[in-house]
Chains A and B, each alone.
Chain A
Amino acid sequence: MTAVTDSQKLAYIAGQAADARVNVEIETEGMTLNMGPQHPATHGTLRIVAKLDGEQVVSCDPVMGYMHRGYEKLVEVRTYPQVTTLVNRIDWLGSFANEVPFILAAEKLMEIEAPPRAQWIRTVLFELSRIANITLFLGDMGVQIGALTPVFYAFRDREFVLNQIEAVTGGRFHPNFDRIGGLRDDLPKGWIADTKAAMDKVRDFCDELETLLSGNEIFTARTRGVGIIPGDVGLSYGLSGANIRASGVDWDLRRDQPVGLAWNEVDWKVWTHPDGDSFARYWVRLQETREAADIVDKLLDGLPAGPVMAKVPRIIKVPAGEAWVSTENPLGEMGYYVVSKGDLGPFRVKIKSPSFNNISIIPWVMRGVYVPDVITILASLYFILGDIDR
Chain B
Amino acid sequence: MSSPEDDAADTPAEGLPAETAATTGDVTSEMDQPPPASLSDQPTADEEVTGDQVEATVEAAEAEGHADMTAAGVGDEGVDPEPEGPPVAEAVVAAEAGLEPDTAPEQPEPEPADPTSPDSSDELRLGLLEVLKAELGDGVVGAHIIDGDDLWVRFTPEAWREAGQIAKGKLGCTYFCFLSTIDWLPSPWGRSEDSPLDVPRDPATIADATPGYAGGWSRFQVFARVQDPTRGLGFTLKVDVPMSMELPTWIPVYAGADWHEREAWEMYGVRFVGHPNLVHLYLPTEFEGHPGRKDFPLLARQVKPWPGIVDVEPMPDEADDSGEDGAEAPAAEASRA
Interface residues, chain A, with chain B CB atoms under 8 Å away? 1, 64-65, 67-70, 72-74, 76-79, 81-82, 110-113, 181, 232-233, 235-238, 240, 244, 249, 251, 253, 256-257, 310-315, 317, 321-324, 326, 333, 335, 337, 339, 341, 343-345, 348, 350, 352, 356-357, 360-361, 364, 389
Contact = CB atoms under 8 A, between A and B. Distances in A.
B318 interface: yes
Interface string B186-214: 11000110000110000000000010110
A65 B330 contact: no
Given A74-B61, A343-B198, A360-B256, A235 B330 contact: no
Contact of A314 (B61, B175, B321): B321
A236 B165 CA distance: 12
Contact of B180 (A237, A256, A337, A343): A337
B192 A77 contact: yes
Interface of B: 56-57, 60-61, 150, 152, 168, 174-178, 180, 182-183, 186-187, 191-192, 197-198, 210, 212-213, 223, 225, 229-230, 232, 236, 253-256, 258-259, 267, 280-284, 291-292, 298, 301, 306, 308-309, 311-312, 314, 318, 321-322, 325-326, 328-330, 332-334, 337
26 contacts: A1-B229, A64-B281, A64-B282, A70-B57, A73-B57, A76-B187, A77-B192, A113-B337, A232-B174, A236-B253, A237-B255, A238-B178, A251-B229, A251-B230, A251-B232, A253-B232, A257-B232, A312-B325, A313-B322, A314-B322, A321-B213, A324-B150, A335-B225, A344-B198, A357-B178, A364-B255
Given A68-B60, A335-B225, A357-B178, 17 more contacts: A70-B60, A72-B267, A73-B57, A77-B191, A235-B176, A236-B168, A237-B255, A238-B178, A312-B325, A322-B213, A335-B178, A343-B198, A350-B180, A350-B223, A356-B259, A357-B176, A361-B256
B176 A236 contact: yes
Contacts of A238: 175-178, 254, 256
Contacts of B61: 69-70, 74
Contacts of A1: 229-230
A314 B321 CA distance: 9
Contacts of A79: 308-309, 311-312
Contacts of A389: 282
Contacts of A337: 178, 180, 223, 225, 236
Contacts, number: 161
Contacts of B57: 70, 73
A300 B174 CA distance: 36
B182 A78 contact: no
B176 A324 contact: no
Contacts of A364: 255
B192 A313 contact: no
Given A321-B213, A324-B225, A389-B282, A344 B197 contact: yes
Most chain B beta-carbon contacts within 10 A, residue among A68, A113, A238: A238
Contacts of B56: 68, 70
B189 to A, nearest CB: 8
Nearest to B197: A344
A77 B298 contact: yes
A323 to B, nearest CB: 8
A344 B280 CA distance: 32
Contact of A237 (B176, B197, B325, B334): B176
Contacts of B232: 251, 253, 256-257
Looking at B187, B253, B256, the one whose CB has the most chain A CB atoms below 10 A away is: B256
A295 B168 CA distance: 34
A42 to B, nearest CB: 17
Nearest to B58: A70
Contact of A74 (B229, B254, B298): B298
A344 B187 CA distance: 14
Contacts of B325: 311-314
